[in-house]
Each structure stands twice: as structure tokens, then as C-alpha cells.
Amino acid sequence: MNRKFTFFSRFIPDILAGRKTITIRDDSESWPKPGELLEVHTFEDDRWFCQLRVLEISPLALADFKEEHAQQENMSLPELRQVIADIYPGQDAFWLIRFEVTAQ
């Protein structure tokens, strides 16, 4: 049984088109392992929208966010910093999860 993972629905188009290939999460979502398949649902209404394979999970501090990470989110670096500050106010230690879409 593959585990469930959620994204805010505003990111669905970028994920399905392969423009967003990473997500940055806190410790509570640091459990995915490379190779694992995730059944991905919307955060808002729990609707399945794709399956992802985890390619990499690695620690990433706020101070180490780079343009390269923003590109993999299909955002500018200031946008990415703002998104993270909105979702995770006051936090500075994260996990980078890199993925590929395996079904949609």
C-alpha cells in the first residue's frame, strides 16, 4: 500500500506538467524514502491527482535556499522564500524531496 501525501491544489498544474519537481517540507513530512511511491491528494479536498516516485530526500536549511531550488519549484527565489514563510512561519530547517510523476 503506497502512502498518501498532499499538496495545495494550486500546484497541481505545475506538478502534472513536470515544471515543479521538488517540494520542501518540515520534519513531520520527512518520512518518504527514495524509491517510494506516493499517492498524492489535494490538501483542501483530499482528491487523488497523481502518483509520485521519490527520487531524493535531503536536509535543506532556509539559509541554503538557492536559485536552483526556486527553478525546481517553478518560482523565483523571493517567491519561494515567501511561500515557505507563509506555510512554515519561523522555521528554518527543512527537507527537500525531489520527485517524478509516475501516474496521473
Choose which of 17, 55, 85, 87 interacts with ligand A1EHT (CB under 6 A). 87
DSSP state of 19: S
- CA angle 28-30-36, nearest 5°? 130
Judging by DSSP bridges, how do beta strands 37-42 and 3-7 pair with one another? parallel
Is the separation of the CB atoms in 21 and 100 below 8 Å?
Answer: yes
Which residues are catalytically annotated? Answer: 20, 23, 73
* Shortest Å distance, C-beta 30 to ligand A1EHT: 12
C-alpha to C-alpha distance for 69 and 91, rounded to whole angstroms = 17
Task: Verify binding: residue 101, ligand A1EHT, rule CB under 6 A.
Answer: no
Choose which of 24, 52, 57, 60 interacts with ligand A1EHT (CB under 6 A). 24
Site of interaction with ligand A1EHT (CB under 6 A): 6-8, 11, 23-25, 43, 73, 83-84, 87
